[in-house]
């Protein structure tokens, strides 16, 4: 079976070459999938895509016209896929529902600790032979209240680590998990009581801009906000306003709602035209990483293996439980 892999990086190729089934023939394209690049998939049986590829109705229609009946997401999120159109066209869509949730959870904690103890600033100071501690004051994580919005596999992994720090956990999820011995509460109470808030929910029409001027107004002054889930959960302009008036004391982002034209590329020799993103970078209490929370050896191995399994299930006419549209 021939598969067109879009947004392909060297590590994607290495992963599939090492872990994928030999019967799968991958064609790699570094371009993102969109209405202009979709024709690259001609002659293939399936496409394999990542978080910023475009699976809108227009793209799916062209894929269908080329005879492509399978979309393999090498990620857990699917907000970039028009599932209704895929179903109407008979295009099967499968995802990787869990690839090392510990990878994202550990990156979440790393962002919390870096912002709190200002490790990025300390690193640069020491390299300049500056050993002064002024401006590096942090706080104990022990005893602090952390609000987790979303307690799926990544949220649960994050909760387990935070319990080890001695944090108090407040959780919100539309489907509470009995495995988690933590206090589930309303969003309003979570906003009001949490010293740190971490987002671990999918991006849906219901969660888009979950963090907005109204939810921010309910939070503690100086709150730490972390997002390693999807950029669209946050209204970035509202967050910038809250940074300016010091409602947000610390902001850690591994995702950004307009990241598609920025992340996963080396733009060091180019001008970035996104004024909102550039404004975020001016704040000393903001830490941004380029959607790397998932990026561990273990996670890449699981992504390659599960994506391969999803493609083989399609080729065999079987279901393995990872389908969003079957």
Give the model's confidence band at 20: pLDDT under 50 very low, under 70 low, under 90 confident, else very high: confident
Task: Supply the pLDDT for residue 214.
Answer: 98
Task: Supply the pLDDT for residue 250.
Answer: 98
Q: Tell whether the torsion through CA atoms of 130, 131, 137 and 142 is positive or negative.
A: positive
Catalytic residue numbers, as ranges = 230, 259, 291
Task: Supply the pLDDT for residue 161.
Answer: 98
Q: Which of 194, 240, 239, 188 is nearest to 218 (CA)?
A: 188
Judge if 2-99+297-325 and 101-288 fold alike in CATH terms: yes
Task: Supply the pLDDT for residue 310.
Answer: 96
CB 237 within 8 A of CB 277: no
Q: Quickly list DSSP for 114-149.
A: HHHHTHHHHHHHHHTT----TT-----STT-EEEEE
Say whether 282 sits in a helix, a strand or coil.
coil
Taking only the tens place, the pLDDT of each residue in 40-96 is: 999 999 999 999 999 999 999 999 999 999 999 999 889 999 999 999 999 999 999
- Please enumerate in sequence order all residues whose Cβ is within 8 A of that of 118, keeping only pairs 6 or more positions apart, or say none: 135, 136, 138
CA distances to 40, 71, 92, 311, 317 from 45, in Å: 12, 9, 11, 10, 14
Is residue 22 predicted with pLDDT exceeding 90? no
In degrees to the nearest 10, what's the CA dihedral of 310, 314, 317, 319? 30
Task: Supply the pLDDT for residue 19.
Answer: 83
Percent of the chain with pLDDT over 90: 93
Domain boundaries, the chain: 2-99+297-325, 101-288
Taking only the tens place, the pLDDT of each residue in 259-302 is: 998 999 999 999 999 999 999 999 999 999 999 999 999 999 99
Is residue 180 predicted with pLDDT exceeding 90? no
Taking only the tens place, the pLDDT of each residue in 251-264 is: 999 999 999 989 99
For 101-288, CATH number?
3.40.50.720
In degrees to the nearest 10, what's the CA dihedral of 68, 70, 71, 75? -160
Task: Supply the pLDDT for residue 108.
Answer: 98
Q: At the top level of CATH, which class does the domain 2-99+297-325 belong to? A: alpha beta
- As a whole number, mean pLDDT of residues 206-227 equals 98
Task: Supply the pLDDT for residue 99.
Answer: 84
CA 64 to chain centroid, in Å, comes to 28
Task: Supply the pLDDT for residue 117.
Answer: 98
- As a whole number, mean pLDDT of residues 103-122 equals 98
Taking only the tens place, the pLDDT of each residue in 125-147 is: 999 999 999 999 999 999 999 99
């Amino acid at each position: 079976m021939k598969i067109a892999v879009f947004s392909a990086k060297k590590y994607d190729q290495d992963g599939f070459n090492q872990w994928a089934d030999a019967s799968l023939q991958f064609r790699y394209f570094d371009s993102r999938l969109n209405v202009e690049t979709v024709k690259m998939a001609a002659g293939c049986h399936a496409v394999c895509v990542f978080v910023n590829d475009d699976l809108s109705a227009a793209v799916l229609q062209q894929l269908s016209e080329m005879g492509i009946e399978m979309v393999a997401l090498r990620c857990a999120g699917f907000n970039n896929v028009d599932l209704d159109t895929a179903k109407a066209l008979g295009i099967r869509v499968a995802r990787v529902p869990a690839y090392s949730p510990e990878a994202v959870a550990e990156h979440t904690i790393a962002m919390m600790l870096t912002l709190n103890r200002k490790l990025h600033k300390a690193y640069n100071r020491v390299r300049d032979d500056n050993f002064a501690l002024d401006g590096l004051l942090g706080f104990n994580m022990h005893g602090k209240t952390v609000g987790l919005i979303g307690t799926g596999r990544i949220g649960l992994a994050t909760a387990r680590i935070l319990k080890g720090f001695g944090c108090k956990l407040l959780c919100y999820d539309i489907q509470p998990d009995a495995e988690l011995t933590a206090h589930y509460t309303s969003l309003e109470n979570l906003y009001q009581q949490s010293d740190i808030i971490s987002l671990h929910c999918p991006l849906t029409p219901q969660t888009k801009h979950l963090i907005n001027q109204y939810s921010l107004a309910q939070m503690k002054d100086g709150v730490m906000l972390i997002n390693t889930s999807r950029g669209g959960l946050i209204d970035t302009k509202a967050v910038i306003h809250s940074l300016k008036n010091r409602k947000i004391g610390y902001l850690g982002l591994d995702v950004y709602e307009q990241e598609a034209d920025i992340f996963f590329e080396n733009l060091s020799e180019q001008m970035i035209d996104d004024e909102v993103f550039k404004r975020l970078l001016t704040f000393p209490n903001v830490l941004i990483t380029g959607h790397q929370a998932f990026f561990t050896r273990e996670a890449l191995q699981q992504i390659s293996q599960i994506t391969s399994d999803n493609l083989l299930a399609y080729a065999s006419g079987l279901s393995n439980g990872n389908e969003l549209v079957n």
